[in-house]
Amino acid sequence: MVELARVRLLSANRRVVRGAEGLWIYRLLTQVEPETYGSKLAYVLVEASASPLVRELPERRLALLDEAVEVAKALGTSNPYRAKMLARALAARERELKGRPAEPLASEGREHRAALQEDPREHA
């Protein structure tokens, strides 16, 4: 399953695979390489919580955000994306708890997309 997830990730030819496929890939790969894939899993979880598919499912949105917070907290303190992903997950969870609409991640700007880039040295 891990090899299949890696193949799907490589064949996607994107920095971040989104949607159900991204959730599957990053959940699986985070189990074997948490420092490499955890930040992307947290990102995709927060994004999934704002999806129209869960618009009418507040419990599901909160579960996704709780998972994102836990994944981000589990990242090592030396992980360069830990603080940013944890802050993003906590902010989204707070918005959800307060009943405010989620902000789309696409509007967060270029610096957040750059934060999700993988360090090519990690795969060398």
Where is pLDDT greater, at 49 or 117?
A: 49
DSSP state of 109: -
Most confidently modeled range among 55-59, 88-92, 102-106, 108-112: 88-92
Contacts of 64 (CB under 8 A, 6+ apart): 45, 46, 48, 49, 54
Q: What is the pLDDT of residue 104?
A: 58
pTM (two decimals): 0.76
Instruction: Name the band, by pLDDT with cuts 50, 70 and 90, for residue 45.
Output: very high
pLDDT of residue 8: 84
